Amino acid sequence: MFGNPFSRAPDPSEVDYEALAEAVRGGATAVVDVREPHEFAAGHIPGSTNLPLSRFDARSLPNDQPVVLICQAGGRSRKALDQTHAAGRNDVRHYAGGMSQWRANGGPVKV
């Protein structure tokens, strides 16, 4: 009657694989990888930029197009997202599955 009490509503600050893959293919989003440089060098989404969480500054994010943050498994990108919200940027989202899920879904990776 009231639905599944254990299901959670979608988080509007998260983007799913299909939406991110389409945005990457169409050049419709700036992907910012918040992993450390050695992780980024080992494989990243083509066209993404590296801004490690250890040096993250929300003011460094692009302002000219939507931004999606990514890390390895979603924890660091969520922390970076929280920092962007604290800085007043509410137009940024993150890919909670991270590079692990991106790779598992067959997303392109540049080394």
β-pairing verdict for 30-33 and 67-70: parallel
pLDDT above 70 (res 4): no
CA distance 86 to 82: 6
Q: Give 11's pLDDT tier (boundaries 50, 70, 90).
A: confident
Question: Where are the chain's structural domains?
Answer: 17-104
Q: Which residues are catalytic?
A: 71
Q: What average pLDDT does the chain have?
A: 91
Phi-psi label, residue 15: left if phi above 0, alpha if psi -120 to 50, beta otherwise: beta
Average pLDDT over residues 49-77: 95
Domain 17-104 bears CATH identifier 3.40.250.10: yes
CA distance 45 to 85: 24
